[in-house]
Amino acid sequence: MRLQRTRRELHTRWWIPALATLALVLTACSTESGPENRQNPLRPKGEYAEKIDDLFGPVFWVSVVIGVLVVAATVLVAVKFRTRKGEDVRPKQTHGSTPLEIGWTILPAVILLAVAVPTVSTIFSLDEEPINPVEVTAVAKQWWWQFDYPRDDNGKKVVTANDMHIPVDRDVLVTLTACDESLPNTVGTETPGCNVLHSFWVPELAGKRDVVPGRENQLKIRADEEGVYVGQCAEYCGLSHANMKFRVIAQSESEYQAWLEAQRADAEVALDDSSDVEELFTAKFQCTNCHTSEDSSLSTYGPNLTHFASREVFASGYYELTRERLIEWLLDAPSLIPMQSDDCRLGSPGSVEGAICVGMPSFTKNPPEGADGQRFPAMKHEEAEILADYLLSLT
Ligand SMILES: [Cu+2]
C-alpha cells in the first residue's frame, strides 16, 4: 500500500522540478537593477549595436524554425515507428539514398550561405574606418578600467577611471589595452606592464572585444541617445571579474567638451605642504605610491584621483560615491571588493606572505609597507574622515 502511494506521488509530482526550473529561468527577467538593467544587447542604443541586433534577429528566427522542425521530426519518427505491443519484428533496414544524401548536404549549405552573407557584410561594415572619431584608450586592470583621453596641444592627456564620457551621435574609437608601461607586471604575465586578459563590452552600444596583453585591439562604439550605459568585463580575469563594470556617459558635444576641459584642469584643491591631509596622504600612508591627486594626466597603479569627486560611482562602478562608503573603503577596501581573496581581506600574518593581492590594500587589517619596509600603523577613523573629505573636494 505504502509503496504504491509513493510511486503514484512520484508520478504526480513531476511538476515540482518543472516549476523549480521555470522559477530559475524567470530570474533572468529580474528587474532588480531597475526596470531596464542597461545591459541589454537586444535593446540597442547606437548605430553599431543596431547593426548587430539587425543581424541577430533574422539569424535567431532562422535557427528557431530549424530547431522546431528538427525536434518535431525527431519526435514524430520516434512515435510513429515505435515498437508496438505484441509486435516483435525487426523493421525494414534501408542503406544509402542518393537523393536524401544530396538533399541534406545541399540544404544546410544553402542555409549557412544565407546566414553567412549578411554576417560577413556586417563584420565588414562594423570594421569601416570611423568618421571623425573621438579617441579613447581603455586600459583594463584587475578589476577596474582606466580611460585615457588624447593629449591636447600642450601634450597633456586626461586619465580617469570607471566613468567613460563620450559625445552622442559621434563615432568613438576605443583602443583596448591591458598594458601600461608605467606599471610593474601582473604576476603570470610576460609583457612589460601588462595585466591579464579582459574583454570590453557595452551591450547597448557595440559588440564585445577582447583586451589582450601585448596587443592593441580597437572597437568602434556610438550612442544615439544621451544617457548612461553600463559596460562590463566579459572575459574571466580573476576572482572579482563579475564586478568589473564601468559606465559610459553619453553627453551632448558641448557637455562632453566641458567635461574634458574640467578634467584637464588642475586639481580643485592643491595639497598644502603642511596640512593634515598632506601628512596623511603622502607621508603617513603614502597613498601617492599608487595614486596621484594632483595631475590628471598621469597613469598610476590605482585610479587617478585628481578629479575623483566628479564621478558618481567608484570601485569599478560598484558603489555610489557617498562619504560613508568612501570612509569604509579607505579603512578596509578589500572587504568591499566582492570576491577579493581572503588573504587580502583578513590580512592574517603568515597567510599574507606571498599572497597576490590586487587592488586597494586594507589600511586597518593589512596595512602596506612604506619605503622604509615598515608596515604603516592601522588607519584611525578620524584619519579616514580627513582623507575622505579631501577626496570629496576634488571635483
Ligand atoms: Cu576583466
- Eight-state DSSP code of residue 91: P
* 235 Cα: distance to centroid of ligand 1 (angstroms): 6
Phi and psi of 194, rounded to 5°? -100, 150
- Convert the pLDDT of each residue in 116-161 to its tens digit: 999 999 999 999 999 999 999 999 998 899 999 998 888 888 999 9
pLDDT single digits (tens) 346-359: 765 444 455 567 78
Report how far ligand 1's centroid is from the alpha carbon of 196 (Å): 8
Q: Which letter does DSSP use for residue 307 in this model?
A: T
pLDDT at 20: 93
| 141 CA from centroid of ligand 1 (Å) | 7
Asked if 160 contacts 146 with a C-beta cutoff of 8 angstroms, the reply is yes
Domains annotated on the chain, with CATH = 134-252 (2.60.40.420), 276-392 (2.60.40.420)
**Residue 30, number of CB atoms within 10 A of its CB:** 8
Enumerate the H helices of the chain as residue ranges: 2-12, 15-26, 47-80, 98-126, 253-264, 276-278, 323-332, 342-346, 381-392
Give the DSSP letter of residue 334: G
CA atoms within 13 A of residue 371's CA, in its CB half-sphere: 8
Give 245 Cα–ligand 1 centroid separation in angstroms.
9
pLDDT of residue 99: 93
Half-sphere exposure of 270 (CA within 13 A, CB side): 5
CA of 210 relative to ligand 1 center, distance in Å: 10
**pTM score, two decimals?**
0.85
Q: Is the dihedral of CA 160, 161, 163, 169 positive or negative?
A: positive
| Distance, CA of 352 to CA of 27 (rounded, Å) | 38
pLDDT (tens digit per residue) in 197-212: 999 999 999 999 999 9
In the structure grid, which three cell numbers stand for residue 77, read together? 519518427
Q: How far is ligand 1, taken at its centre, from the CA of residue 45, in Å?
A: 24
C-alpha cell at 390: 579631501
CA proximity to 251, closest of 265, 235, 262: 262
Three-state SS annotation for 124-147 = HHHCCCCCCCEEEEEEEECCEEEE
pLDDT band at 73 (very low <50, low <70, confident <90, very high): very high
* Cβ neighbours for 136, distance < 8 A, ≥ 6 positions apart: 147, 148, 149, 164, 166, 172, 173, 174, 175
**Ligand 1 ion: Cβ-proximal residues, 5 Å cutoff:** 198, 233, 237, 244
Which amino acid is it at 135?
A: E
